[in-house]
């Protein structure tokens, strides 16, 4: 199969159809932006998606995290105090008219909170369009993408195009919370296809790899004393500082020794160690008797989390060596919270080539394969099922920050690109005109 294999007449029909529904795509994306679908409040957004899927004559299936047996034992499962009753993931499939390969579009409907509303120059949840920009939280990450993947199918229907392989649409919750109740639950619940495309805001590049992420905390004990008798105590902050600096050095060393060209296409380094918090002491007139630091460390797809843990633990141990107090009261290391696995697929995977060819043939955009230095939901398809999964979507405009927006033109481009990707991947036939 050639990556891009679409007759001009057929692609023109789809282009015309996307043109006809351009306002509907924007209206739907705007409607989704109006729902403040932060963690645990995704349900109204999924309701709107469901209505839209049903309008395409699709049957909508629900997948809830609490109905996936054994998911709590998965190493990426995040402990939760969330209801799953009203928070389904959705799956709908248009069956192919032949035996073509199947494709799945996956997108998250949850958004990160808006932060300080006063800092925005518009209402983050008004869903207005100004100067051909859809404004609001989630516009580019990734309600635009969700709208485009649904309306890509609408465009194909209008254009009288039948796909030969199945096309599934999977909208999920909790991506911003690590994905365990969303895409992980979907994948472990049986959602799969021959390939997956996720329209996250990639700037029309393809993200085909991601770093793994771990959080850890180092705690050091001291001995408290009155400030007037400072030397009678042991200052825990002072004991923590050499460890802090050793970890800083570890970051410096890893960023020059761990390389993956997919990441360095784009970022200065492949991996990082971020020292995020430091705390110590609770009273200015007392010698602090405990101190902690918390850090986020990433690992490249070629590394294992186990090796990385060993490296961190050895670094901390070495920093404590030779200090009689720390030898008696060794620092404690705790790996806590979210753990994201790394993943990587081959840049020559046919789905990657297909998406890149669509971008260049239909949009005139040069698409590059890149690695993302954090968690993306594609890893679940890759790691659990060995299914090639790629992120490909519009630009990222102030995502996770203030004044997020998405140019309407990119939403239209993406809708067209996803429709053509489905045709190219699944194969298609043009239904005869009934008139
Ligand atoms: Zn996203």
Distance (angstroms) between ligand 1 centre and the Cα of 256 equals 29
Distance (angstroms) between ligand 1 centre and the Cα of 395 equals 11
Q: Provide the pLDDT for residue 84.
A: 83
Distance (angstroms) between ligand 1 centre and the Cα of 122 equals 21
In this structure, are residues 217 and 336 in contact, taking their beta carbons and an 8 Å threshold?
yes
Q: Provide the pLDDT for residue 303.
A: 96
Distance (angstroms) between ligand 1 centre and the Cα of 183 equals 12
Q: Provide the pLDDT for residue 3.
A: 64
- Residue intervals of the chain classified under CATH 3.30.70.360 are 212-340
Distance (angstroms) between ligand 1 centre and the Cα of 108 equals 7
Distance (angstroms) between ligand 1 centre and the Cα of 145 equals 9
Q: What is the mean pLDDT of residues 235-257?
A: 97
Distance (angstroms) between ligand 1 centre and the Cα of 154 equals 23
In this structure, are residues 114 and 136 in contact, taking their beta carbons and an 8 Å threshold?
no
Q: What is the mean pLDDT of residues 6-12?
A: 94
Distances (CA, A) of 205 to 92, 214, 219, 405: 26, 26, 41, 19
The tens digit of pLDDT for each residue in 311-361 reads 999 999 999 999 999 999 999 999 998 889 999 999 999 999 999 999 999
Give the percent of the chain with pLDDT over 90: 94
Distance (angstroms) between ligand 1 centre and the Cα of 199 equals 9
Distance (angstroms) between ligand 1 centre and the Cα of 393 equals 10
The tens digit of pLDDT for each residue in 37-50 reads 999 999 999 999 99
- Residue intervals of the chain classified under CATH 3.40.630.10 are 8-210+342-430
Distance (angstroms) between ligand 1 centre and the Cα of 375 equals 10
Confidence of residue 74 (pLDDT cuts 50, 70, 90): very high
- Report every protein residue that has its C-beta within 5 angstroms of ion ligand 1: 141-142, 200
Q: Provide the pLDDT for residue 311.
A: 97
CATH of 212-340, picked from 3.40.50.970, 3.30.70.360, 3.20.20.120, 3.30.70.1140, is 3.30.70.360
Q: Provide the pLDDT for residue 50.
A: 98
**Could you tell me what percentage of the chain is helix, strand and coil, using 3-state DSSP and rounding each to the nearest 5?**
40, 20, 40
DSSP state of 154: H
For the cut 60, the answer to whether the pLDDT of residue 435 exceeds it is no
Query: What's the chain's average pLDDT?
Result: 96
Q: Which residues of 373-406 are buried (b: 16+ CB within 10 A; e: fewer)?
A: bebbbbbbbbbbbebbbbbbbbbbbebeebebbb
For the cut 60, the answer to whether the pLDDT of residue 429 exceeds it is yes
What CATH topology corresponds to 8-210+342-430?
A: Aminopeptidase (3.40.630)
Q: What is the mean pLDDT of residues 409-427?
A: 98
Q: What is the mean pLDDT of residues 378-397?
A: 98
DSSP state of 223: B
Give the percent of the chain with pLDDT over 70: 99
Distance (angstroms) between ligand 1 centre and the Cα of 296 equals 19
Distance (angstroms) between ligand 1 centre and the Cα of 142 equals 5
In this structure, are residues 183 and 379 in contact, taking their beta carbons and an 8 Å threshold?
no
Distance (angstroms) between ligand 1 centre and the Cα of 342 equals 17
The tens digit of pLDDT for each residue in 154-209 reads 999 999 999 999 999 999 999 999 999 999 999 999 999 999 999 999 999 999 99
Distance (angstroms) between ligand 1 centre and the Cα of 201 equals 7
Q: What is the mean pLDDT of residues 65-83?
A: 92
Q: Provide the pLDDT for residue 109.
A: 98
Distance (angstroms) between ligand 1 centre and the Cα of 397 equals 12
Distances (CA, A) of 126 to 26, 33, 43, 136, 405: 13, 7, 18, 7, 12
Distance (angstroms) between ligand 1 centre and the Cα of 7 equals 33
In this structure, are residues 263 and 209 in contact, taking their beta carbons and an 8 Å threshold?
yes
Q: Provide the pLDDT for residue 434.
A: 54
Distance (angstroms) between ligand 1 centre and the Cα of 163 equals 27
Distance (angstroms) between ligand 1 centre and the Cα of 94 equals 25
- Whole-angstrom Cα distance, residue 191 to residue 170? 8
For the cut 70, the answer to whether the pLDDT of residue 9 exceeds it is yes
For the cut 70, the answer to whether the pLDDT of residue 394 exceeds it is yes
In three-state secondary structure terms, 278 is: strand
Q: Provide the pLDDT for residue 207.
A: 98
Distance (angstroms) between ligand 1 centre and the Cα of 291 equals 35
Distance (angstroms) between ligand 1 centre and the Cα of 424 equals 25
């Amino acid at each position: 199969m050639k990556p891009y294999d679409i007759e001009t007449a057929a692609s023109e029909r789809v282009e015309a159809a996307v043109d006809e529904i351009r306002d509907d795509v924007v209206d739907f994306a705007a409607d989704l932006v109006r729902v403040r679908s932060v963690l645990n409040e995704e349900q109204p957004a999924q309701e709107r998606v469901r209505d839209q899927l049903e309008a395409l004559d699709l049957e909508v299936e629900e997948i809830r995290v609490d109905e996936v047996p054994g998911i709590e034992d998965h190493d990426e499962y995040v402990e939760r105090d969330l209801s799953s009753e009203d928070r389904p993931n959705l799956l709908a499939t248009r069956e192919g008219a032949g035996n073509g390969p199947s494709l799945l579009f996956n997108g998250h409907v949850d958004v990160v909170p808006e932060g300080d509303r006063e800092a925005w120059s518009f209402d983050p949840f008004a869903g207005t369009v100004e100067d051909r920009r859809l404004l609001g939280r989630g516009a580019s990450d990734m309600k635009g993408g969700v709208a485009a993947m649904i309306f890509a199918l609408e465009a194909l229907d209008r254009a009288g195009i039948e796909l030969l392989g199945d096309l599934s649409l999977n909208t999920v919750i909790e991506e911003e919370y690590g994905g365990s109740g969303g895409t992980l639950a979907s994948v472990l619940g049986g959602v799969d296809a021959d390939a997956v495309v996720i329209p996250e805001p990639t700037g029309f590049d393809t993200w085909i790899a991601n770093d793994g992420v771990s959080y850890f905390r180092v705690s050091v004990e001291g001995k408290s004393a009155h400030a007037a008798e400072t030397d009678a105590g042991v200052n825990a902050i002072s004991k923590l500082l050499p460890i802090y600096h050793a970890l800083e050095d570890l970051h410096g060393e890893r960023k020059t020794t761990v390389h993956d060209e997919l990441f360095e296409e784009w970022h200065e380094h492949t991996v990082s160690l971020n020292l995020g918090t430091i705390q110590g002491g609770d009273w200015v007139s007392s010698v602090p008797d405990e101190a902690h630091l918390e850090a986020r460390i990433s690992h490249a797809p070629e590394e294992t989390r186990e090796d990385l843990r060993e490296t961190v633990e050895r670094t901390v141990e070495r920093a404590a060596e030779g200090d009689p107090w720390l030898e008696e009261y060794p620092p404690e290391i705790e790996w806590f919270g979210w753990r994201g696995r790394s993943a990587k697929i081959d840049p020559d995977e046919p789905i990657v080539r297909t998406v890149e060819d669509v971008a260049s043939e239909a949009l005139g955009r040069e698409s590059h394969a890149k690695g993302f230095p954090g968690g993306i939901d594609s890893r679940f398809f890759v790691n659990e099922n060995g299914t090639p999964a790629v992120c490909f979507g519009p630009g990222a405009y102030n995502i996770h920050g203030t004044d997020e927006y998405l140019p309407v033109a990119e939403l239209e481009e993406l809708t067209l690109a996803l429709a053509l990707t489905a045709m190219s991947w699944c194969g298609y036939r043009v239904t005869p005109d009934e008139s």
